[in-house]
Every structure is written in structure tokens, then in C-alpha cells.
Structure 1
């Protein structure tokens, strides 16, 4: 080890301590600020288990929840615009009136999910597994729905049920 190497890397420990202090402060402030900190540091929730979590009316725009287990999670009225939900497990999730504009739902599992009144304008549903879900009143195009892997038993925006 060369002399002086330790002194040249002193800032790594300082940066880690600052990040922990900032996280503790923002935890004290509230949930919305935690999301801002996570985005600032590029923290991802990839493959995290958050079953039955309550995110109702939360602002989670551009948040990454790719691969997360969100079974029975409540996103009622949440802002998930431009969120990355690629491969997320959203079985029995409540996405009623959620803003999913531009969201990535590629290969997501939306079995038995409620998307009543959700805005899916520009969202990607490519390969999504949508079975026995409820999309009544949702803002979504037929072209978007055609990219899903399956829509079996799903209530479509017009109230009809997919075979």
C-alpha cells in the first residue's frame, strides 16, 4: 500500500455519513421527502417485498419499483406517472384512480388488481399478465391492451369482460 492512500479516500466515509444523516433527517420530515432522497442517490427498490403497503395518494412520480413484490398494496389515487414497475408483482393491488401516465408496466403481474378509473395514458403494458383485473373507466387504448400477454377475465374500460 502506498503512503497517503488512506488520506486520499477520507471523503468516502464522510459521504456515507452525510447520506445516513440526510436519510435520518428526511425520515423525520416525511414520506414524500424520502422518495426525493432515494431518487437523488439513485436508490432502487428492485426486488423488494412490500406486500399490503399503503401508498394511497402518495407522489411517486418516476419512482423505481421494478421487480418489487407489491401484492395487495394500496396505490389508490397515487401519482405513479413515469414510474418503473417493470416485472412488479401487483396481484390484488388497488390502483384505483392512480395516475400511471407513462409508467412502465412491462411484464408486470396485475392479476385481480383494481385499476378502476386509472390513467394509463402512454403507459407500457407489453407482456403484462392482466387476469381477472378491473379496468372499468380506466384511460387506456386498445393498442396498449393488445400488447399485454393476457387479459383473461379482465373487466375492460367499457365494462365488458374479456373472454
Structure 2
């Protein structure tokens, strides 16, 4: 890395100092340097949502974000949603049978988490709209939406 630049970022609550190439993507840094493989590399064009992470609480497709852009910011990956064990949302994905092949699930979970953070009681159409950037090749959309609804209901009952 002769042209590497040093960046600092909070990733899943841990401070990192990383040397990255100016053209390195966030997805490759998360997977190759930090060792977080939850975000999946699929289309690398921002079309499928498999690489969705949160950047300062906002869902982004990490394949479209250059690593230097996270300097001074907070990134949350699917691994960072809960301290130990599964989050309630991840549990509902399992409970509702929304996990089939599992490839798209990290991105689906991150998109759903962002929706529920801003809308604790989304309608079916709001769920569809929020999840529209995440493709599921197994076609499990109804079960994914059911998991989002079940998580919303579970959180409202607390």
C-alpha cells in the first residue's frame, strides 16, 4: 500500500485506525481488513442490497462507498446489531422462516433495522418501500416482511 491513507472509524462500537487505498471500497475493507464478512459481495453495483450497512445510522450499500469516506464516522454491520446472541429482529427472521439461502439476509436485516429505527409501526407498503433495494433470489419477500412486522409488534409490546 504505497498510496495508503490512514482513516479512523467506529465500526460496531470499536475504534479502528485503518490504512486504506484511496480507491478501496468500504465493503472490501470491512471484509478483508476488519474481518467482518456479514455484508456480502454480490453485484458490486448497488443494485442488490446484499452489502447494506449503516453509516452514521443510515443504510448504505457498502460496495458504493469508498473507504476514505468513513473517516470520522460510525459504521454498523449486521455483526454489530447485538452485543451477544441475536437481536430481536434477527430472531424474528428465524422465527418467520425468512432465512432461506441466507445470502441476502444480512442486507435485508440492516434495511429492516433502519426502517424500524425511524418507523416503529410500518405498514405493509412502508415495509415494501424500505426493503425495495434488497433483492432476494429465493423469493422470500413475504416471510421477510412478516419478520419485520413481528419485530415491530414485539417492540411495541415491551
Q: Tell me, yes or no, whether TM beats 0.5.
A: no
Relative to total residues, which structure has the larger helix share, 1 or 2?
2
Q: TM-score when scaled to structure 2?
A: 0.29
Q: TM-score when scaled to structure 1?
A: 0.29
